[in-house]
Amino acid sequence: MTPADIHGLSTDLAHQGVRGVHIGWVDNNGIVRSRIVPIGELEAAAHRGVGVTAAFAVFDSHDGITFAHEGLSTPSGDVRVVPVIDDPADVVRLAGQPHLAWTNARQLSADGDPWPYCQRAVLELQVDRAAAAGLELRAGFEVEVVVAKEGDDFVPAHRGPAYGPNALRDVDEFVARLLHDLAANGIEIGQLHAEYGESQVELALAAEDPLALADTQVLTRQTIHSAARAEGLRVSFAPLTTTAGAGNGWHLHTSMSRDGRNILPGEGPHGLSDEGRGYLGGLLRELPAIVAVTAPSTGSLLRRRPGYWAGAYGFWGVENREAALRLVPNSRLLGPERTNVELKACDASANPYLALAMVLGAGLAGIAEAADLPEPVQEDVGTWEEERRASAGIAALATTHEEARAHLVGSDLAREVLGEQLLGAFVACRDADAAWAAEHSVEEIVESHRWRY
């Protein structure tokens, strides 16, 4: 949009009562950060951004700053967070906070050049690579969230049963407000239900292109937090909110399109095309590095337990919910465009831009190289003897920082997709979190993240 268009837009918003605009971005812990500018400053902010410390790239999940990454080892350095406003709809007046609007930002150097630590730019690059190959990712998140009564202690807001309408009756006003606010904020969902975990709710975001989806996911967080607060509730997206029971997964569903048509389905085994096999094979072979980005936190590692449908083992299956990669095939009822792959090992501590970039990068390489795909496994491999898993080539995904770190730093894909500098900062954040965790109990780790997501 031209400066004049943005000026007109901000004048309209001001007339509607909008006083300020959040310029939001997501750090390497999946934590959303923002600056508010007065509405009259939006035009200037769209041009030159707002200055923030470069240290946001090395904030850990407890707001500690690690100086262990060579490129950002001092308190010096300023970057610009610049709202991405290509269309009037990119500035969203928040239904739950109508005095404010929301924009998503990219981060640029002080001179306005690309900044190697900008997570959105990492995804933009993969989207461009896909476009150059004539391909487009389509993606949607399932958002699991624990709803609690307002207050510091965790007091469940609904009492189940899982999937029960009566459970949602306990939080009826929240649900009503949420459905209203999501629609008003332009967020499309497929469905909402009382999830399996204690006081858990889930909603499924409609599929979009990756940049739109990541932006939507960030806005969704703010929308849910606001709707909860307005009803005397508090929500947590943390991978684990208590040490017992199911965690919050933000499962990521993806498919790949060419000319608007899903290329995953085909005449091959399991209803896959050759490119579909390559795509899934690409994700499978890179899974250890992918999940180090899509479920990266100390809480993610604790959430990764067999039997919780959270993707504890690196294998794929057709509609197998215990598999880290679940193929959702076409069906006669659902039609010929439905095929997608669900990544279970993904949660809210992932930066959505980086998560999507890793999946897209792995999928593109898998298609280009016609990556191998083993036979699917339809069982719960967590019930197998270790020997049987080993002979089937199935390994547990990382549950310790050391394992996850090794997968990340040893991955050519991670280096290529994230870039050397961002990878270094990302690993430094994980190291800082691990050092914190080493001094604390599992309960303390879980508690420390509960109200940060």
- Applying CB under 6 A, the residues found at the interface with ligand GLU are 144, 196-197, 246-247, 249, 303, 308-310, 321, 344
Q: Beta strand 100-109 with 233-236: parallel, antiparallel or unpaired?
A: unpaired
Smallest distance, ligand GLU to C-beta of residue 364, A: 26
- Cβ 329 vs Cβ 271: under 8 Å: yes
Residue 84 sits at the vertex; the CA angle it makes with 177 and 209, to the nearest 5 degrees, is 70
**Shortest distance, position 326 Cβ to Mg ion, whole Å:** 12
Strands 252-258 and 200-205 come out as: unpaired
Using the minimum distance from each CB to ligand GLU, give the nearer residue, 197 or 278.
197
- Select the residue whose beta carbon is closest to ligand GLU and give its number: 249
Question: What ranges in 185-252 are assigned the alpha helix state H?
Answer: 210-230
Nearer to ligand GLU, 59 or 308 (CB): 308
The listed partner (Mg ion, ligand GLU, none) that binds 310, CB under 5 to 8 Å by sort, is ligand GLU
Closer of 158 and 285 to Mg ion (Cβ): 158
Q: Residue 307 CB, nearest distance to Mg ion (Å)?
A: 14
Cα 217 from Cα 140, distance rounded (Å):
9
Phi, psi of 179 (to 5 degrees): -60, -40
303 binds, among ligand GLU, Mg ion, none (CB under 5 to 8 A by kind): ligand GLU
Least distance CB 380 / ligand GLU (angstroms): 13
Q: How far apart are CA 213 and CA 219, in angstroms?
A: 10
Q: Which is nearer to ligand GLU, 114 or 307 (CB)?
A: 307
Quote the least distance from Cβ 205 to Mg ion, whole Å. Answer: 13
In angstroms, rounded to a whole number, what is the distance separating the alpha carbons of residues 63 and 59? 6
Which partner from the list Mg ion, ligand GLU, none does 205 bind, CB cut-off 5 to 8 Å by kind?
none
Ranked by CB distance to Mg ion, the top (closest) residue is 202
Residue 106 contact, options Mg ion, ligand GLU, none, Cβ 5-8 Å cut-off depending on partner type: none
Q: How far is the CB of 20 from Mg ion (least distance, A)?
A: 35
Picked from Mg ion, ligand GLU, none, the partner binding residue 352 (CB below 5 to 8 A depending on kind) is none
* Residue (129 or 305) nearer to Mg ion, CB: 305
Question: Cβ of residue 246: shortest distance to Mg ion, in angstroms?
Answer: 8
Q: CB of 440 within 8 A of CB of 325?
A: no
Closest to ligand GLU by CB, 121 or 145:
145
For the CB of residue 303, give the shortest distance to ligand GLU in the complex, in Å.
6
**Closer residue to Mg ion, CB minimum distance, 170 or 347:** 347
Nearer to ligand GLU, 321 or 415 (CB): 321
From Mg ion, ligand GLU, none, interface partner of 197 (C-beta below 5 to 8 A by class) = ligand GLU
**How far is it, in rounded angstroms, from Cα 319 to Cα 334?**
14
Which residue reads 């479920």 in tokens?
295
Residue 288, contacted partner among Mg ion, ligand GLU, none, CB below 5-8 A by kind: none
> Which amino acid belongs to residue 320?
N
- Return the bridge partners of 149, or none: 233
24 beta partners: 34, 104
Q: Which entry of ligand GLU, Mg ion, none binds 265, CB below 5 to 8 A by partner kind?
A: none
Sequence-distant (6+) residues with CB within 8 A of 225 are 235
DSSP 117: T
Question: In whole angstroms, what is the distance from residue 319 CA to residue 236 CA?
Answer: 28
From the list 348, 317, 108, the residue with the least C-alpha distance to 240 is 348
- Give 297's strand partners: none
* Residue 321 binds: one of Mg ion, ligand GLU, none (C-beta under 5 to 8 A by kind): ligand GLU
Output the smallest distance, CB 45 to ligand GLU, in A: 37
**Alpha-carbon span 89 to 82, nearest angstrom:** 16
The contact set with Mg ion (CB under 5 A) reads 202
Choose between 202 and 286: whose C-beta lies nearer to Mg ion.
202
Q: Are 210 and 360 in contact (CB under 8 A)?
A: yes
